[in-house]
Structure 1
Amino acid sequence: MKLQTKRPAAAGIAIGLALALGACGGGDSAEKGAGKGGQQPGKGTPQVGFVVVQPTDVALVTELAGRTTAFESSDVRPQVTGIIRRRFFTEGALVTRGQPLYEIDPRLYRAAANEARANLASARANQEATRILAERYRPLAEIEAISKQDYTNAVAQSRQATAAVGQTRAALETAQINLRFTTVPAPITGRIGRSLFTVGALVSATQTDPLAQIQRLDPMFVDIQQSADALLSLRRSLASGGVTPTTAQVRLKLPDGGDYGQTGTIEFSEALVDPTTGTTTLRARFPNPQGILLPGMFVRASFSQAINRRAFLVPQQGVSRNPQGNATVIIVGPGNKATEKKVTAERTQGEFWVVTEGLNPGDKIIVQGLSKLRPGQQVQPVPANTPQRVQAPPKDGEGGGGSGGGDAAQKKGG
């Protein structure tokens, strides 16, 4: 009887252990089943950040190469032949219009002026004598005391004497002008360069080299070269509508890469294209009070020729290029699915691409979370720069519902 009593007790213990182990096994399988049926961390619907774009006014900014040119430039040239006796200026100084720069030996020209003055006095005396003679012959010819031919000759001589006075007066004026040319003045106001001729040099009115050169540096011109293709494209845009012309304010980058503080304006555009380069010239005018700009400097000019009224500004991280080189964006499409769109984005403005075609007002451009995003994929869109919720990992002993169930089963079985 004792043996029969112990066997059922041992069987009950074995059954209890089996139930406890089954409970533990059931907890593990439950965890695995939950893992298969639920979404693993990082493999769910991706969260992406988007921006909503609307059409806006965008200036069509162009950056082109240019070269500085003096506002006024003039060569100092002699008008008469002679020896330079004196120089009145300091090389590199600022000179004013009419200021004497050189003196050419004036003695020969002064003597020529004196001779012309004497010739004029002689011509005037002869004019007076012939006029009086003609007046005396007039009444005598009327009473036929002298022949009419003698009177006619006297009148002709008087007129010839008057003409001679005019000729000698012009010769005197020429001599006086040549005498004044012996002092060479500054033709314009500006900064004068080095003197190419020294005192004692022989100069002439027909020489090819100037005595010096004067340049006015304030204001300063900048000649900008623009391709004919770009000019035609701009004119087509203006003609098609949506793009309006604007007064161009020009900014410069100096050869060292620095920004020139002053802004300039476009003065005019040439109405011809250089056949060798295929470009046309735009001329801008800049103030240059400190003399930073010098003639012949190469600069970069950026300016706006027109304003696009229907452009979109898209952050640069939202625009990519496909293998064909076309610009594309990914938008939040119907049903929160990522949809790829081909757009036209030919230039940037600051941190944005200027998109002129391919977008509609109100499009949601995805700019965050693009690294592993595929077109057609389901997304969870949120406004760009929205803080993401990051959950802390579960602590040890928490979240193990299967293990807890196994322990309970063991306790229960026990």
Structure 2
Amino acid sequence: MGNLRAVGMAGSLAVAIALAGCGPANDQASVAEVARPVEVLAVKTEPLALTSELPGRVEPMRVAEVRARVPGIVMQKRFEEGADVKAGDLLFQIDPAPLKAALSRAEGELARTQSVVLEAQARVKRYEPLVKIEAVSQQDFDSATADLRNAQATTRSAQADLQSARLNLGYASVTAPISGRVGRALVTEGALVGQGDATLMARIQQLDPVYVDFTQSAADALRLRESLKDGKLSATDNKALSIRVDGTAYERQGALMFTDVAVDRGTGQVSLRGKFANTDGVLLPGMFVRVRTPQGTDNQAILVPQRSVQRGSDGVAQVMVVGVDDRVESRNVVTGAMQGSRWQISEGLKAGDQVIVGGLTGLQPGAKVAPAQPHAQAQSPESKQ
């Protein structure tokens, strides 16, 4: 009887121990770490054409100031303000009456001097054989020859005066020196112009094509040159520019014309100029624009989506990458230029790194993750092949 009681107590103890051993195992299984699904992007290098966006202003290709070249009263204005004119179009008519009178006087003076020349020539011709036989003195012959030369010089002067009178009469019709858009008239009918100076009457600007002048920091230009020299960037022969009118979505394509050979001492900037077509006349002188200019090509550029780049409280850019054993690592990076919706990463990543681009909310370094390609990438034609 005592033996049976001992056996029963031993069995109960074994069952209790067995039950006690099962409890912790079940608790461990219930708290086993679950990998969190995230979307990752495998980093790869690609060629990237680098550009800079710089401020600029629109300038006309040519500017002509229409001025009165002769004195007189403005009789007519023959153009519409703000209209396009062609070279040679009549803009103003100055009273030609005094200029016609001056032309007539010049013609009369020329005719008088020409008659004096004829008279002097006849005297020299008559004296020439007589001086040989000493019928007239040598002094009289020399005097006749001098009178002829003086008359010929006076004639040439009269011819020049006549030519000037004709030019002045032509200047009474004020024409456009270039083709372009004429601004407002600065004088009206009845105004006296050309008295003492060449009165400004209007201004014409050629607006197709137009120039865009902009500046770049000399330090940036030097860094670009060093990068090209070190092989970090490759040079490009592309001189294409694009401009965007500030505050709008209007864009226009053009070409770089030249870079100045000197640096502004006051600002440390280098001046550049681009040329842009303007057939529709939208670009106006003085308009502020943003110029996008090529800065070379980075053949080993690394680009990641903008949403994958986060910034800490210290402002340092960071990305989350999948590290050893599928655990999250925080990686400090240096961002370059923004290209559309992607950041260029100049330091901190290399080809092959898996950058987490989806499921970042609440994700901490060291967490276990289950990486997968983004849905859009997984469904791309390349992924199906």
In the superposition, the TM-score normalised over structure 1's length comes to 0.78
Letter in 2 for 1:50: V
In the superposition, the TM-score normalised over structure 2's length comes to 0.84
Name the CA distance, whole Å, in 2 between partners of 1:386 and 1:113: 89
1:153 is aligned to 2:143: yes
Residue of structure 2 equivalent to 1:162: 152
The 5-angstrom pairing of residues 337-352 of structure 1 reads 337-352=327-342
CA-CA distance at 1:349 after TM superposition: 0.5
Give 3-state SS (helix, strand or coil) of 2:117's partner. helix
Residue of structure 1 equivalent to 2:382: none
1:34 is aligned to 2:23: no
Give 3-state SS (helix, strand or coil) of 1:165's partner. helix
Residue of structure 1 equivalent to 2:225: 235
1:282 is aligned to 2:275: no
Distance change (3 Å), C-alpha of 1:358 and 1:129: farther
Distance change (3 Å), C-alpha of 1:177 and 1:39: same
**In proportion to residue count, which structure has more strand?**
2
Distance change (3 Å), C-alpha of 1:340 and 1:246: farther
CA-CA distance at 1:380 after TM superposition: 4.5
Q: Is 1:123–1:164's contact at 8 Å kept on the other side of the alignment?
A: yes
Deviations 1:240-296 (A, max 9, x none): 223213423333332442233x31222222223333433233222222222222222
Name the CA distance, whole Å, in 1 between partners of 2:243 and 2:271: 16
Distance change (3 Å), C-alpha of 1:325 and 1:255: closer
Distance change (3 Å), C-alpha of 1:55 and 1:206: farther
Name the CA distance, whole Å, in 2 between partners of 1:381 and 1:236: 43
Unaligned runs of 5+ in 1: 1-10, 388-414
Q: Is 1:337–1:379's contact at 8 Å kept on the other side of the alignment?
A: yes
Residue of structure 1 equivalent to 2:374: 385
Give 3-state SS (helix, strand or coil) of 1:361's partner. coil
Aligned-residue identity in percent? 35
1:122 is aligned to 2:117: no
Name the CA distance, whole Å, in 1 between partners of 2:196 and 2:18: 115
Deviations 1:180-227 (A, max 9, x none): 111110111112122121110111165476211212222222222322
Q: Is 1:57–1:310's contact at 8 Å kept on the other side of the alignment?
A: yes
Residue of structure 2 equivalent to 1:223: 213
Paired positions, count? 367
Of 103, 122, 126 in structure 2, the residue corresponding to residue 113 of structure 1 is 103
Q: Is 2:68–2:199's contact at 8 Å kept on the other side of the alignment?
A: no
CA-CA distance at 1:27 after TM superposition: 6.7
The 5-angstrom pairing of residues 12-411 of structure 1 reads 30=22, 32-37=24-29, 39-40=31-32, 43-204=33-194, 206-207=196-197, 210-243=200-233, 244-260=235-251, 262-322=252-312, 324-334=314-324, 336-375=326-365, 377=366, 379-380=368-369, 382-385=371-374
Name the CA distance, whole Å, in 2 between partners of 1:137 and 1:352: 101
Deviations 1:101-131 (A, max 9, x none): 1111111111111111111111112112212
Unaligned runs of 5+ in 2: 377-385
Letter in 1 for 2:248: G
Q: Is 1:58–1:309's contact at 8 Å kept on the other side of the alignment?
A: yes
Distance change (3 Å), C-alpha of 1:149 and 1:362: farther
Letter in 2 for 1:247: N
Letter in 2 for 1:83: I
Give 3-state SS (helix, strand or coil) of 1:272's partner. strand
Aligned-residue Cα RMSD (Å) equals 3.1
Distance change (3 Å), C-alpha of 1:356 and 1:246: farther
Q: Is 2:66–2:203's contact at 8 Å kept on the other side of the alignment?
A: yes
CA-CA distance at 1:46 after TM superposition: 4.2
